[in-house]
């Protein structure tokens, strides 16, 4: 019988809609679905921005209901249903045309009088570059007095994330699992640094006298049940024995060390440690722009636990770096099963998909504390549109769902460039954004990588490249090699046009570094860019020899000895070589654009190597 866990909370993004001008379709603010009959809440000033009078019942607006993994997007009309005429509360209730909405898309609301000092989350349509909507989080401070005539005093919020476009967005009390308010004002501090995170919300209690009043929940909403993994009793008796086969250790063969110096990130390291020691979170998702140091952050945290036999040390670690160009979920699940069962289970006898996902998660349910790292999930997330961040693999979604609901104290750590949408409403999931380096951290990184200059010069470089860890590391290599280490500003460097998209600037910098390489180094980078797993120096030399017959064969392997000292190449704990994921993508794009002649040959040689390794045959370098 499957065990269930109460971990599903309301999904804020799924209840949030766009309120649009009916003539121009411009997004004027956010709204929240509060009834299956199609009632939704937004702000009165959002209605005005749409060209309608919020006091005129029946006025028409346009509402866009975004797509979810389970629902298609819809565009509907909405009419003003209710407005608190005798007050100044910035709130309106709209009625959607076109019939009811799915109940799982509806938010449950309650008054905010029991939410003081509680954490909140929100989602709304503030715009940042190409992003269609963004999350916000913060603290509910409590009610504050006002000389204006409000039915209920406004709720003060503290959040550095709220901004224009969030008007009408839900204030979701994480602890009570209720929508307790709706954002209506974000304080603009001007030149002052005071009250930078100040905002205000309309208390959901204002709805008490509206047609949605009977739907209010006064205390809290219980979390929904989610099925955990289950395992055959006979198989479980074998697998969960205390034999030596179960003493799995640290399997981190594909885990790279830091690219260059690792600086700062003390707050992020403390946050990961807090999650690990808290034993509540089953899945920790690290999101942020590629190259910001998510992989190095996780590896640095693990390195802090690698020595000694403390009670906090993970008893086993399994690290899997995903290839963004391949769907490796089945291979990953097989690797997890083999690792956690200590080889007692042959994953090849199981069907693909859900069966492997179920068993892999079930194997976590012991008294051992494991850490599973799913690094570089870029290729397994939707990368644009309203479904951005959703997993493209049902098997991966199943595994993480089972792991989130399982009865264990292990931790799955995910890294990827986007928020992990499918997990947002799980109480055992926590998301953490790996943001840009601070000026102090960026300055330290440049100096560690050989760049000399005054603080203000280095600060300018950090700002030129938006505190991006990989860009600064790559830039430091270029400055060290081409400028003798003397600090140079953006306009004097490749990718110096600040009007270009950041990714384009980074590609130009990568191309400039590539042009500095000799033919052997370039050949090595080409092979590593296509390799889906780390390669030892002899393996790398063998592929280079076969795919580049014009290079002197006897000098190849000795010349690779210093490759790991360059900015492009990382070295695993076992001494194998691989490229940073971002640089791997950049170099793959370059090779495709250039039409590299030996592209197919390298693919073939690497495929032969992986096949022989999987069969336990002699490594590729002995046969070339």
- The token pair that represents 230 in the structure block: 């289950």
∠ CA 226-232-237, nearest 5°, is: 120
Q: How many helices (H) and strands (E) does the chain have?
A: 17, 22
What are the backbone angles phi and psi of residue 381, rounded to the nearest 5°?
-120, 140
pLDDT at 247: 47
| Full DSSP string of 30-71 | EEEE--TTSEEEE-HHHHHHTT--TTSTT-EEEEEE--BTTB
Question: Any bridge partners for residue 286, and if so which?
Answer: 415, 432
pLDDT for the residue numbered 265: 83
Extract the tokens encoding 234. 């006979």
Task: Report which secondary-structure segment, H or E, holds 507.
Answer: helix 502-515
Q: pLDDT tens digits, residue range 531-566?
A: 767 788 888 888 887 777 777 777 777 767 666 655
pLDDT the model gives residue 243: 47
pLDDT of residue 24: 92
CB 215 within 8 A of CB 392: no
Strands of 370-375's sheet in order across? 250-251, 316-321, 370-375, 411-416, 283-287, 429-433
Sort 46 into a burial class: Cβ within 10 Å, 0-12 / 13-18 / 19+.
buried
How far apart CA 134 and CA 151 sit, in angstroms, is 30
The reply to whether the predicted model has a pTM over 0.75 is yes
302-331: pLDDT as tens digits: 888 876 667 788 888 999 988 776 778 998
Using an 8 Å Cβ cutoff, are 392 and 382 in contact?
yes
Residue 529, pLDDT score = 80
Q: What is the pLDDT of residue 416?
A: 92
Backbone angles phi and psi of 466, in degrees to 5 = 55, 30
Residue identified by tokens 């029991």 is: 114
Question: By three-state DSSP, how is residue 202 classified?
Answer: strand
Helices (H), 324-468: 329-340, 354-362, 394-405, 439-448, 455-464
Query: Any idea of the CA torsion for 518, 519, 521, 526, to the nearest 10 degrees?
Result: 140
Q: Residue 508 is encoded by which pair of tokens?
A: 């130009």
Enumerate residue ranges in the chain where pLDDT < 50: 1, 243-247, 617-624
Which runs of consecutive H residues, i.e. helices, occur in 560-615?
581-594, 599-614
Local structure of residue 560 (DSSP, 8 states) = G
Query: Residue 469's pLDDT is what?
Result: 85
Whole-Å CA distances, 547 to 142, 542, 606: 67, 9, 11
Confidence (pLDDT) at 596:
58
Tokens of 8: 């599903």
Cα atoms in the 13 Å half-sphere on the side-chain side of 563: 32
């Amino acid at each position: 019988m499957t065990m269930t866990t109460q971990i599903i909370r309301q999904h804020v993004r799924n209840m949030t809609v766009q309120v649009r001008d009916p003539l121009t379709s411009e997004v004027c603010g956010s709204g929240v679905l509060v009834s299956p009959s199609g009632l939704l809440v937004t702000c009165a000033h959002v209605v005005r921005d749409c060209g309608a009078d919020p006091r005129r019942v029946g006025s028409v607006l346009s509402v866009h209901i975004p797509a979810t993994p389970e629902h298609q997007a819809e565009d509907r009309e909405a009419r003003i249903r209710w407005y608190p005429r005798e007050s100044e509360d910035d709130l309106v209730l709209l009625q959607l045309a076109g019939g009811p909405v799915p109940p799982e898309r509806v938010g449950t609301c309650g008054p905010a009088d029991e939410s003081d000092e509680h954490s909140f989350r929100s989602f709304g349509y503030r715009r940042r570059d190409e992003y269609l909507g963004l999350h916000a989080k913060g603290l509910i401070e409590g009610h504050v007095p006002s000389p204006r005539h409000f039915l209920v005093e406004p709720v003060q919020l503290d959040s550095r994330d709220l901004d224009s476009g969030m008007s009408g967005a839900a204030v979701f009390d994480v602890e009570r699992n209720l929508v307790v308010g709706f954002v209506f004002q974000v304080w603009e501090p001007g030149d002052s640094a005071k009250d930078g995170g100040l905002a205000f919300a309309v208390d959901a209690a204002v709805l008490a006298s509206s047609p949605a009043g009977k739907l209010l929940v006064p205390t809290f909403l219980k979390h929904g049940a989610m099925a955990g993994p289950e395992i055959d009793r006979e198989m479980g008796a074998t697998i969960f024995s205390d034999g030596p086969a179960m003493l799995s250790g640290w399997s981190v063969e594909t885990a790279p060390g830091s690219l260059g110096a690792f600086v700062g990130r003390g707050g992020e390291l403390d946050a990961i440690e807090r999650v690990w020691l808290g034993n509540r979170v089953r899945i920790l998702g690290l999101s942020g722009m590629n190259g910001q140091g998510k992989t190095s952050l996780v590896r640095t945290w693990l390195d802090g636990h690698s020595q000694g036999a403390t009670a906090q040390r993970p008893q086993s670690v399994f690290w899997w770096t995903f290839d963004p160009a391949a769907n490796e979920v089945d291979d990953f699940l097989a690797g997890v099963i083999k690792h956690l069962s200590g080889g007692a289970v042959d994953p090849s006898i199981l069907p693909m998909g859900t069966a492997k996902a179920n068993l892999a998660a079930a194997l976590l349910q012991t008294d051992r504390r494991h850490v599973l790292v799913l690094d570089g999930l870029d290729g397994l997330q939707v990368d644009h549109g309203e479904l951005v961040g959703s997993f493209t693999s049902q098997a991966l979604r199943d595994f993480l769902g089972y792991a989130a609901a399982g009865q264990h104290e292990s931790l799955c750590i995910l890294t990827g460039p986007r928020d992990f949408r499918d997990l947002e409403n799980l109480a055992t999931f926590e998301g953490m954004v790996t943001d840009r380096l601070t000026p102090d951290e960026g300055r330290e990184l440049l100096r560690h990588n050989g760049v000399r200059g005054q603080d203000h010069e280095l600060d300018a470089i950090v700002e030129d490249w938006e505190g991006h860890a990989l860009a600064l590391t790559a830039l430091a290599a270029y400055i060290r090699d081409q400028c003798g280490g003397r600090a140079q500003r953006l306009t004097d460097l490749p990718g110096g046009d600040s009007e270009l998209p950041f990714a384009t600037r980074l590609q130009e910098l990568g191309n400039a570094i590539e042009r500095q390489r000799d033919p052997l180094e370039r050949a090595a980078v080409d092979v590593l860019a296509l390799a889906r797993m780390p390669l030892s120096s002899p393996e790398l030399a063998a592929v280079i020899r076969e795919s580049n017959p014009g290079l002197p064969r006897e000098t190849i392997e000795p010349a690779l000895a210093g490759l790991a000292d360059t900015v492009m190449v990382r070295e695993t704990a076992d001494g194998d070589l691989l490229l940073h994921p971002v640089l791997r993508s950049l170099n793959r794009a370059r090779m495709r654009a250039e039409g590299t002649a030996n592209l197919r040959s390298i693919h073939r040689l690497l495929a032969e190597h992986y096949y022989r390794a999987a069969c336990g045959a002699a490594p590729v370098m002995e046969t070339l």
